[in-house]
Structure 1
Amino acid sequence: MPAAADTEPPDYLTLMKAEEMWKVADGSGITVAVVDSGYKPVPGVRSESVLPGVSVMSPPIKEPDKTYPAHDDVEGHGTTMTAAIVGDGTGGAPKGLAPGAKVMPVRTSLGTPMAFAAGAEGAKGIRYAADNGAKIINLSWGDYYAFEKLKPAIEYAQTKGALVFAAMGNQGESNNATNLIAKIPGVLGIGAIDETGEPLASTSHGHTTDLAAYGGKAPIRCKDNTAWCAKDGGTSYATALASASAALVWSAHPDWTANQVARVLIETASPPVDGSKRNDWVGYGVASPSWVLLKKAGNPGAPGIDPLAPAPTNAPTPAPSQTAAAPAEAAAAEAEEEEGLPWQWLALGAVVVVGLGLGFIVTVKRRRG
């Protein structure tokens, strides 16, 4: 790894049993829209894995006719997220978790002097992605000031059948600001862990954290998007891996809805070790798509019901799923077969969590039930 040979990132894909999963599904047939800073063709990402996409960047006031290509990225954040999903692992790049998927780059002003416009541009880009076949929308960033535009855009995308993932943020010990986007019903808020399963100290946490994924040392675009370096990916990287996890599941079950994909990811997440159903650091647990693909675990349930929506107060308590054992139930039975599930030892303690991946923003959130 040219720029990171002295600090080789851990092999989180082996922990996730990626090679075994790819024999079942690799993300083929699923488009993931990465609404971000764009995508720059780089070593490690095959051109056929990235769609033409679109740029929604606003032109400067003095240059109203100026346009920006979608396949450009001056900062590298969007390129990193793309590689985390569909990279081929060459040239220092990460091997993507869903190498058969397609990434639709939607370029905003993130990483430029015009970044103040990224939120409103992102809202426009979300609508574009929903109208052009994106099943999954990856938001590894947040924006408080444009929330009133982002919320209806996300709700529109949901009516088109898209599943939206949002990074919780990387503001952990400073003020623990969390991404306001994750409070929107149906949006999955993603926290970050390291290779041992512990939440990153930088990860923002709160009652809107729904799932977590690896966000520790990984190949990240650096030096103005001219090289790969090993750095913490934070909740940005974790969100890309959560999106890729959904792509794997959806690829194996193309007839499922966004709600059903979300439900099985929640049901099969490696649970918090404190014994709770969920907590504010990792939500319902660490996304573990291998349970769905290799163990046939998880009950997709009703196609039109948000798994995070509050249950009606007069609704009967649902019977436990009989389809397959969930991670918490099956772990003991498999103890003699293998040492345990990846990320199963979440030493939460007093660990707190910070803001957006490589990124930024936001504020306090909601609750879904």
Structure 2
Amino acid sequence: MGSSRARGRLTGPVRRASAVLLAAAIGVLAPGVTPIPAMAQDDAADEGGFYAEPPPLPPGTQQPSDGGGTPQETFALDTECVTRDLEEDFELPDKPWGQQYLRIEQAQALARSSTGSAGKFRDGRRVKVAVIDTGVTPHPFLQDRLEGVGDYVKEVTPGPGLEDCDGHGTEVAGIIAANPADPDIGFMGVAPEAEILSIRQSSQNYKKDTEQQNQPPPAGDGGEEGQPEGGESSELPAGGQTNGLRGSTGPAQEGPTRQLNDSETAGNVDTLAQAVVLAANSNVDVMNVSINNCREATGQISQPERRLQAAVRYAVDVKDVVVVTAAGNTGEKCKQNDQLAPNKPRSVVTPPWFAEDVLSVAAVDESGNAAPFSVHGPWVSVAAPGTKIISLDPVKNSSKLANQMVEGGGDPMPIQGTSFAAPYVAGLAALVRTVHPDLTARQVMRRIVSTAQHPAAPGGRDNFIGHGIIDPMAALTSMVPEEEGVPPAQAKQLPSDMPPPNVRDPLPVIVAFAGAGGAVVALLIALFVVHTVRRNRRTP
């Protein structure tokens, strides 16, 4: 009997363990059943690597050289610069929806009421914003507030950085600082009194001139071993036109974000690092980088990426520059980060990956949701409008606006991309520096993040729009606790409104039941006695 009971005691736990294992197996194999939690998947893939964050910059790492702000290789024009063939002269009078959504004009009015301008410091000096891009074409809406300071593509007239064959950097600059003289034109830049410093860092219209190469590629070029590749590329036929489509430009606006992806075209991660250092050394207050490199998340960092990381850190910590960058767009070689484990992305985008030192900007559409092309990731800081963009026409000698672009030599399409969300944030940073000139670059970045319209997510942040869509009015007026020396708010366990539990004494209940039972017994006895007496009386 004893051994039988012992066996009985052992079979219970065994049966329960078997049931748990069976349920787990069913959860994995059965369709429609909840899968294994994401945190339990692909653990081996993270061994010895990193995904969500880059490795820390080694102490003492020096920033790279600025390369003299000149081309490192010889490039020749391969695809004609953007053109505009209009059948009639006209302007785009409408205000972009993003400008209205962000209440840009109210923010400008508030800045002017505080400082007298929307892009100047109180001493009259203009806020300087570097645009590291495909160059900026001089445009009447930028007046005399445009200066070219560097060109890593080709030395051209009228000056370094003042040719935009791709038609990208001019549109970015317009969102930051355009100021139309005609009051009937609705479009206006965010900081219309700021100064633009243009650095042409890349161009997909220029390719290596193999017949005139006078020096080998610098270390860290796109062909270097270990250099990640990313982004989508395509070659466009020279001489394409737009067939007179209104507000359009063409040819050669390949993709809504300029990717450092083609070893044959002008621009790579090394020249981007050099351009960041050049902008920082030009004493700018803000820099906008709508150029990036997207590649597969391999758990490694290349030497060019390391140099770019050092350049960004130098700009922020040494030169006190607010660095704003586009979060990146999806493409053939830049897969969306929609995997189950959000902190183990499929694609990594630089410089947004260096989230500790930059404001990485996602794009939202008119619904306020993340645009489908905007790359998700744990590095996304904030979001801004990135669809149906209106900005400066990048065609040389044009005084018009544009609202369409030609992508990949195909049909005209609305201007869109995280490239054009980033300059909204760069323009806001210029306004913040105007109203709050004593703040450091990191404090300006923190203010923009703190005052954004936080999503309904844990910690007020998600991987789609970061800390939320920027709020210019709040960024200019809110009290940020850390600026006042107030410690950040901490989660606190609040007392419940429910009354304390009532632990009852069982004795009164026992007494009540005993009394009731006694009364019932007494009643039964009384009934029995009465019944007996009556029966005896009837007996003769």
Would you call these one fold, judging by a TM-score over 0.5? yes
User: What is the rounded CA distance, in whole Å, between the counterparts of 1:140 and 1:280 in structure 2?
Assistant: 19
Give the counterpart letter for 1:52 in structure 2.
G
User: What is the rounded CA distance, in whole Å, between the counterparts of 2:482 and 2:191 in structure 1?
Assistant: 20
Aligned to 1:15: 101
- How far apart are residue 162 of structure 1 and its match? 1.0
Q: 298, 309, 324: which one pairs with 2:480? A: 298
Q: Is the contact made by 2:327 and 2:375 (CA closer than 8 Å) also made in structure 1?
A: yes
Any residues of structure 2 matched to 1:4-43 within 5 Å, and which? 10-25=96-111, 26-28=118-120, 29-43=126-140
Aligned to 2:219: none
User: What is the rounded CA distance, in whole Å, between the counterparts of 2:437 and 2:166 in structure 1?
Assistant: 34
- How far apart are residue 149 of structure 1 and its match? 2.9
- How far apart are residue 274 of structure 1 and its match? 4.5
Any residues of structure 2 matched to 1:249-288 within 5 Å, and which? 249-274=432-457, 276-288=459-471
- How far apart are residue 236 of structure 1 and its match? 0.5
Q: 150, 158, 162: which one pairs with 1:54? A: 150
Q: Does residue 234 of the first structure (1) align with residue 417 of the second (2)?
A: yes
Gaps of 5+ in 1: 60-64, 304-316, 322-369
Give the counterpart letter for 1:27 in structure 2.
G
Q: Is the contact made by 2:135 and 2:169 (CA closer than 8 Å) also made in structure 1?
A: yes
Give the counterpart letter for 1:154 in structure 2.
V
Any residues of structure 2 matched to 1:79-118 within 5 Å, and which? 79-89=170-180, 94-114=187-207, 115-118=265-268
Give the counterpart letter for 2:195 in structure 1.
K
Q: Is the contact made by 2:381 and 2:465 (CA closer than 8 Å) also made in structure 1?
A: yes
Q: Provide closer, same or farther for how the CA distance between residues 223 and 85 of structure 1 changes in structure 2, counting only shifts above 3 A.
A: closer
Q: 306, 309, 313: which one pairs with 1:151? A: 309
Moved more, 246-255 or 67-76: 67-76
Q: Is the contact made by 2:137 and 2:395 (CA closer than 8 Å) also made in structure 1?
A: no
Percent identity reads 26
Q: Provide closer, same or farther for how the CA distance between residues 133 and 6 of structure 1 changes in structure 2, counting only shifts above 3 A.
A: closer
User: What is the rounded CA distance, in whole Å, between the counterparts of 1:155 and 1:214 in structure 2?
Assistant: 27
Aligned to 2:9: none
Q: Does residue 215 of the first structure (1) align with residue 386 of the second (2)?
A: yes
TM-score, with length taken from structure 2? 0.50
Give the counterpart letter for 2:380 in structure 1.
T
Q: Deviations over 1:134-190 (max 9, x none)?
A: 111111111357423322221221221111111111107971244221122211211
Q: Provide closer, same or farther for how the CA distance between residues 80 and 223 of structure 1 changes in structure 2, counting only shifts above 3 A.
A: closer
User: What is the rounded CA distance, in whole Å, between the counterparts of 1:223 and 1:38 in structure 2?
Assistant: 10
Give the counterpart letter for 1:71 in structure 2.
L
Residue 143 of structure 1 aligns to a residue in which SS? strand
Aligned to 1:247: 430
Q: Does residue 179 of the first structure (1) align with residue 179 of the second (2)?
A: no
Residue 259 of structure 1 aligns to a residue in which SS? helix
Give the counterpart letter for 1:147 in structure 2.
E
Provide the aligned C-alpha RMSD in A. Answer: 3.3
Give the counterpart letter for 2:323 in structure 1.
V
Give the counterpart letter for 2:421 in structure 1.
A
- Structure with the largest fraction of helix: 2
Give the counterpart letter for 2:483 in structure 1.
G
Residue 54 of structure 1 aligns to a residue in which SS? strand
Give the counterpart letter for 2:200 in structure 1.
R
User: What is the rounded CA distance, in whole Å, between the counterparts of 1:319 and 1:42 in structure 2?
Assistant: 45
Q: Deviations over 1:118-143 (max 9, x none)?
A: 43222222111111111111111113
Aligned to 1:336: none
User: What is the rounded CA distance, in whole Å, between the counterparts of 2:382 and 2:97 in structure 1?
Assistant: 20
Higher relative contact order (CA 8 A, sep 6+): 1
Q: Is the contact made by 1:77 and 1:221 (CA closer than 8 Å) also made in structure 2?
A: no
Moved more, 214-223 or 263-272: 214-223
Number of residue pairs the alignment of both structures matches: 301
Aligned to 2:489: 320
Q: Provide closer, same or farther for how the CA distance between residues 302 and 178 of structure 1 changes in structure 2, counting only shifts above 3 A.
A: farther
Q: Is the contact made by 1:261 and 1:300 (CA closer than 8 Å) also made in structure 2?
A: no
User: What is the rounded CA distance, in whole Å, between the counterparts of 1:34 and 1:105 in structure 2?
Assistant: 5
- How far apart are residue 192 of structure 1 and its match? 0.5
Q: Is the contact made by 2:171 and 2:394 (CA closer than 8 Å) also made in structure 1?
A: no
- How far apart are residue 301 of structure 1 and its match? 3.0
- How far apart are residue 267 of structure 1 and its match? 0.8
Q: Does residue 200 of the first structure (1) align with residue 296 of the second (2)?
A: no
User: What is the rounded CA distance, in whole Å, between the counterparts of 2:292 and 2:454 in structure 1?
Assistant: 26
Q: Does residue 160 of the first structure (1) align with residue 331 of the second (2)?
A: no
User: What is the rounded CA distance, in whole Å, between the counterparts of 2:488 and 2:168 in structure 1?
Assistant: 43
Give the counterpart letter for 1:259 in structure 2.
R
Give the counterpart letter for 1:229 in structure 2.
N
User: What is the rounded CA distance, in whole Å, between the counterparts of 2:291 and 2:149 in structure 1?
Assistant: 18
- How far apart are residue 223 of structure 1 and its match? 8.3
Q: Provide closer, same or farther for how the CA distance between residues 282 and 113 of structure 1 changes in structure 2, counting only shifts above 3 A.
A: same
Residue 427 of structure 2 aligns to a residue in which SS? helix
Q: 285, 290, 294: which one pairs with 1:135? A: 285
Give the counterpart letter for 2:464 in structure 1.
W
Give the counterpart letter for 2:147 in structure 1.
L
Residue 53 of structure 1 aligns to a residue in which SS? strand
Aligned to 1:169: 328
